[in-house]
């Protein structure tokens, strides 16, 4: 027992104050919505890697990092919504795999026109999300269990489509979406991520429905008694998370020009890590798109920088683990003071 | 102030010049206090007066900055609650700290499970816990899980736990806040018995009537100062109120104007799906305050939750302004103009970790958002205006958690006031709220009625229901026992019906 049993929650409370958009401050910092800490971390990382290797701070490498972060970034946007309502979605990596296999398999084995297969692949993601949402709201399974189920089922289904084989070769126009850089910088997939992130930011900050998601995460019962349609919104959030996993699958297929049933293995955990590094609370009610995007880039920059410096992937995993702990600790300490 | 001479016997606990500050905020300015064996001392004061800090210092949760304590003649400076318990001082907190998925016996002995031959001696534990529970009049098996026990029963488990530790001073923090009348009586009977056995009590409460019933002395704190000690509990209520708030309160309840004859809401033979109430019928008129009284478990909360759409009903109808209401949907009830200020403020009323502004916008998004757009500026302006209008002591960007209970309650009320609803339901509107803030809430309630709303007030505080309402409906075991007009609604009459 301690004299301040609710210190952590108090810290979170203070953080909400700090993150409050309503105080009339119109500065850039307030637009960050409480993600200043992660931003500082990202800048420090970039400075560190710039000093360690001259390759890091080049346009080419920066574009590389951004390209490599789009898939995770799109998954993390969906995860942000899920975590804000106090849920968790362990299935996004597997849904990505199922969608990417559907995308390769339907044209290859059934001659489905590619654009139609693309829509079906994304829709499959949405259907998986719908099942997640219904398991959570109707069957009243804890989100962890519901999405753990889907994680297993979708991965199995992904393997069944082609009996575990990969599919190679997509239309040129499709792969060029990830490779051709308009104005020398912006590929279509990166632009797509930017548009999705911007829309998510607008939605969560300025739409009444977006604000209601925070209320659900803060206290679902308070939200329900205040007239928020908690079940409907909860289902929608999981559907969107699934749809985004489908879109992320398309982006990945375009980048790799192939589909593998093992795609996206463990991505759900990276997505959760990005959201949490970005300052969201796993107990719900706190989180922001800006924070998540910064979290995604922290993970992207770490992988990229450590590769450039020549550190083995095994050590990279250790470093990323430590960064998650450090980010959340720093955040908690900053909020407490 | 020196310990009173009105009582005889040695002093069991003595406090001298206890000071405590949190940061720059001085919470206690040198408190002197003494408690004798078998004595019950009431600790009175508004929220923020320092009662909880003082209790937590005695119970080892906090350390004083200055001053000293003596316990049974020896210097006493507990480092933690375990120290305090070992010495014989137990704190029974208003929010229970039991482990819901362990049995009662395990809870009583948690942290010191009796061992025999390397294994937990369950038989002995069960027997000892059972004996203590029976002595406290709690007739349940010690093997039962704590989850699902009533608040009253949980409290007795806490007391049993402290007693098995040989507690000779029990600090009771708002022990009756969640209890009904019968349960309160029962608790008092046990407390009296323990007193006769020499156990001392420090009794922290807002309920002045109770204090007069069972305490021996009254100590009043205000802003961290000990402002009065009364060597008897028979102190006129106005005197105590003046001690607590530093000003004289002549009138607690505002006068309410006679209601309109226009019927706003009609509840027709409504029954709950869970069986918590059956066949309840009544109407409330515009400008009327309709009280609902009854003991805990009578179905009052369930009834008003059903009216507000929070719980499903099995039969019956709710007619609002002549038109039937779709039941079981809070959003529908709110849209039609029925709002509920729930009993459990922290769990159902406010999102604690969100700002006042966000809490106010919640439930009003459909009104203040323009085609679904809800900008921070809109929310901020909306909140600013409401905060001022209802006198919430806080800035809109401040978190709800940082507010006192009274101000949290004002936030919940403000959220609904902004909608100008037709039916305003308040369930236990002043539970755990201090005297000064209560008066403000009563004024708000009277104001709602004056604006022509139909107001329904549920309260376990009889004085409150009787003081505010035009008519009082009494529920007992889910059945409607009668509706009394104000003139006929006396304490005695209501209690007769409630316990019939």
Q: pLDDT tens digits for A239-296?
A: 999 999 999 999 999 999 999 999 999 999 999 999 999 999 999 999 999 999 999 9
Residue B217's pLDDT is 93
Note whether B210 and B292 are same-domain residues: no
**Domains delineated in chain A:** 34-336 (1.10.3470)
Residue B246's pLDDT is 67
Note whether B462 and B323 are same-domain residues: yes
Q: pLDDT tens digits for B438-474?
A: 888 999 999 999 999 999 999 877 778 888 999 999 9
Domain-located, residue B3: no
Residue B247's pLDDT is 52
Which residue in chain A has the smallest CA separation from B344? A222
What does the mean pLDDT of chain A come to?
89
Beta strands in B348-495 (DSSP E): 423-427, 454-458, 471-476, 479-485
Report how many domains make up chain B: 2
Which residues, 6 or more positions from A22, have their beta carbon under 8 angstroms from its beta carbon? B355, B357, B358, B376, B377, B379, B380, B383, B396, B397
Q: In the predicted model, is pLDDT for residue B3 greater than 50?
A: no
Q: Which of B304, B339, B362 to mutate to test the interface with A (most CBs of A within 10 A)?
A: B362
> In a 3-state reduction of DSSP, which class is residue B22?
strand
Between the alpha carbon of residue B407 and those of residues A178, A222, B155, B410, the distances in Å are 55, 17, 27, 5
Which whole number is the average pLDDT over B333-355?
A: 94
Note whether B473 and B337 are same-domain residues: yes
Cα separation, A243 vs B339, whole angstroms = 36
* Of B199, B216, B245, the domain-final residue: B245
Q: pLDDT tens digits for A3-56?
A: 344 444 444 443 333 444 434 344 555 556 567 888 988 999 999 999 999 999
Phi and psi angles of residue B457, each rounded to the nearest 5 degrees, phi first: -120, 125
Domain-located, residue B159: yes
Q: In the predicted model, is pLDDT for residue B147 greater than 90?
A: no
What does the mean pLDDT of chain B come to?
87
Domain-located, residue B257: no
Note whether B170 and B209 are same-domain residues: yes
Residue B153's pLDDT is 81
Assess A202–B contact: CB distance below 8 Å, yes or no: no
Which whole number is the average pLDDT over B403-430?
A: 93
Cα separation, B450 vs A246, whole angstroms = 57
Higher pLDDT, B261 or B364: B364
Cα separation, A290 vs A38, whole angstroms = 10
Could you give the ipTM of this predicted complex?
0.84
Note whether B235 and B306 are same-domain residues: no
Q: In the predicted model, is pLDDT for residue A130 greater than 70?
A: yes
Assess A64–B contact: CB distance below 8 Å, yes or no: no
Q: pLDDT tens digits for A93-124?
A: 999 999 999 999 999 999 999 999 999 999 99
Band the pLDDT of B95: cuts 50, 70, 90: low
**Domain of B173, in residue numbers:** 13-245
> Residue B449: which CATH number?
3.40.50.300
User: Please, are residues B72 and B49 in contact by the beta-carbon 8 Å criterion?
Assistant: no
Cβ <8 Å between A17 and B399: yes
Note whether B394 and B472 are same-domain residues: yes
User: Please, are residues B314 and B478 in contact by the beta-carbon 8 Å criterion?
Assistant: no
Residue B115's pLDDT is 84
Q: DSSP code of B349?
A: I
B-contacting residues in A 3-62 (Cβ below 8 Å)? 3, 6, 9-10, 12-14, 16-17, 20-24
Share of chain B above pLDDT 90, in %: 48
Q: pLDDT tens digits for B197-217?
A: 899 999 987 677 788 888 999
Domain-located, residue B304: yes
Residue B165's pLDDT is 80
> In a 3-state reduction of DSSP, which class is residue B82?
helix
Is 0.80 surpassed by the pTM of this model?
no
Q: In the predicted model, is pLDDT for residue B258 greater than 90?
A: no
Cβ <8 Å between A20 and B355: yes
Of the candidates B80, B349, B375, the beta carbon closest to that of A222 is on B349
> In a 3-state reduction of DSSP, which class is residue B268?
strand
Note whether B233 and B311 are same-domain residues: no
Of the candidates A2, A13, A223, the beta carbon closest to that of B402 is on A13
Which residue in chain B has the smallest CA separation from A30? B376
Note whether B176 and B319 are same-domain residues: no
Of the candidates A13, A16, A208, the beta carbon closest to that of B372 is on A208
Between the alpha carbon of residue B374 and those of residues A34, A40, A203, B380, the distances in Å are 19, 29, 10, 10
Which residue in chain B has the smallest CA separation from A33? B376
User: Please, are residues B442 and B450 in contact by the beta-carbon 8 Å criterion?
Assistant: no
Of the candidates A1, A9, A226, the beta carbon closest to that of B363 is on A226
Cβ <8 Å between B56 and A3: yes
**Which neighbouring-strand residues pair with A212?**
none
């Amino acid at each position: 027992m301690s004299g301040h049993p609710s210190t952590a929650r108090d810290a979170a409370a203070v953080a909400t104050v700090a993150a409050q958009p309503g105080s009339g401050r119109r500065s850039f910092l307030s637009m960050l919505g409480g993600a200043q800490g992660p931003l500082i971390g990202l800048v420090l990382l970039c400075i560190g890697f710039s000093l360690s290797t001259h390759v890091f701070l080049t346009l080419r490498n920066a574009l590389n990092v951004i390209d490599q972060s789009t898939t995770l970034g799109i998954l993390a946007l969906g995860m942000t919504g899920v975590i804000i309502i106090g849920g968790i979605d362990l299935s996004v990596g597997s849904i990505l795999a199922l969608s990417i296999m559907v995308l390769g398999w339907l044209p290859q084995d059934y001659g489905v026109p590619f654009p139609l297969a693309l829509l079906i692949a994304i829709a499959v993601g949405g259907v998986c999300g719908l099942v997640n949402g219904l398991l959570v709201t109707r069957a009243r399974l804890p989100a962890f269990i519901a999405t753990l189920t889907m994680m297993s089922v979708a991965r199995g289904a992904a393997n069944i489509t082609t009996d575990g084989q990969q599919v190679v070769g997509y239309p040129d126009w499709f792969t060029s979406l990830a490779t051709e850089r308009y104005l020398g910088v912006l590929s279509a997939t990166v632009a797509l991520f930017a548009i999705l992130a911007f829309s998510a930011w607008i939605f969560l900050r300025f739409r009444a429905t977006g604000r209601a998601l925070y209320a659900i995460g803060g206290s679902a019962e308070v939200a329900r008694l205040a007239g928020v349609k908690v079940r409907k919104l909860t289902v929608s959030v999981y559907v969107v998370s699934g749809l985004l996993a489908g879109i992320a699958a398309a982006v990945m297929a375009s980048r790799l020009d192939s589909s593998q049933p093992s795609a996206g293995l463990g991505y759900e955990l990276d997505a959760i890590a990005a959201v949490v590094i970005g300052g969201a609370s796993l107990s719900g009610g706190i989180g922001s798109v800006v924070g998540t995007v910064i979290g995604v880039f922290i993970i992207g920059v770490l992988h990229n920088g450590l590769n450039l410096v020549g550190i083995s992937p095994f050590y990279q995993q250790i470093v990323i683990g430590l960064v998650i702990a450090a980010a959340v600790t720093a955040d908690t300490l900053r909020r407490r003071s | 102030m020196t310990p009173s001479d009105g009582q005889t016997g040695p002093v069991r606990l003595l406090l001298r010049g206890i000071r405590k500050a949190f940061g720059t905020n001085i919470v206690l300015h040198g408190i002197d206090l003494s408690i004798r064996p078998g004595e019950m001392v009431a600790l009175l004061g508004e929220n923020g007066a320092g009662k909880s800090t003082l209790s937590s210092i005695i119970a080892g949760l906090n350390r004083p900055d200055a001053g000293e304590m003596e316990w049974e003649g020896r210097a006493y400076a507990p480092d933690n609650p375990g120290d305090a318990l070992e010495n014989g001082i137990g704190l029974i907190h208003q929010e229970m700290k039991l482990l819901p998925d362990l049995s009662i016996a395990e809870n009583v002995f948690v942290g010191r499970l009796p061992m025999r031959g390397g294994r937990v001696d369950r038989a002995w534990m069960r027997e000892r816990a059972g004996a203590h529970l029976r002595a406290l009049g709690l007739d349940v098996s010690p093997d039962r899980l704590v989850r699902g026990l009533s608040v009253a029963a949980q409290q007795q488990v806490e007391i049993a736990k402290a007693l098995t530790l040989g507690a000779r001073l029990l600090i009771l923090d708002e022990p009756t806040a969640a209890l009904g009348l019968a349960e309160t009586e029962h608790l008092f009977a046990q407390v009296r018995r323990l007193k006769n056995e020499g156990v001392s009590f420090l009794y922290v409460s807002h309920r002045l009537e109770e204090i007069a019933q069972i305490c021996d002395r009254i100590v009043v704190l205000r802003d961290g100062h000990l402002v009065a000690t009364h060597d008897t509990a028979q102190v006129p209520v106005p005197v105590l109120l003046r001690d607590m708030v530093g000003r004289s309160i002549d009138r607690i309840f505002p006068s309410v104007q006679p209601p309109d004859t226009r019927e706003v809401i009609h509840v027709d033979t409504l029954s709950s799906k869970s069986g918590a109430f059956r066949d309840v019928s009544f109407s409330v008129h515009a400008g009327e305050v309709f009280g609902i009284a009854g003991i805990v478990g009578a179905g009052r909360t369930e009834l008003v939750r059903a009216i507000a759409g929070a719980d499903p009903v099995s039969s019956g109808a709710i007619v609002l302004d002549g038109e039937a209401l779709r039941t079981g949907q809070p959003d529908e009830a709110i849209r039609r103009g029925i709002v509920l200020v729930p009993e459990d403020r922290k769990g159902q009323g406010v999102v604690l970790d969100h700002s006042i502004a966000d809490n106010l916008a919640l439930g009003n998004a459909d009104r203040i958002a323009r085609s679904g757009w809800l900008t921070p500026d809109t929310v901020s302006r909306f909140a600013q205006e409401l905060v001022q209008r209802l006198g919430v002591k806080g800035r809109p960007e401040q978190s709800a958690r940082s507010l006192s209970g009274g101000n949290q309650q004002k936030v919940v009320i403000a959220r609904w006031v902004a909608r100008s609803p037709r039916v305003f339901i308040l369930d236990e509107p002043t539970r755990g709220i201090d005297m000064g803030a209560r008066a403000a809430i009563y004024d708000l309630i009277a104001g709602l009625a004056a604006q022509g709303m139909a107001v329904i007030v549920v309260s376990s505080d009889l004085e409150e229901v009787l003081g505010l309402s035009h008519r009082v409906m009494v529920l007992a075991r889910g059945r409607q026992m009668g509706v009394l007009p104000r003139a006929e609604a006396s304490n005695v009459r209501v209690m007769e019906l409630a316990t019939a």
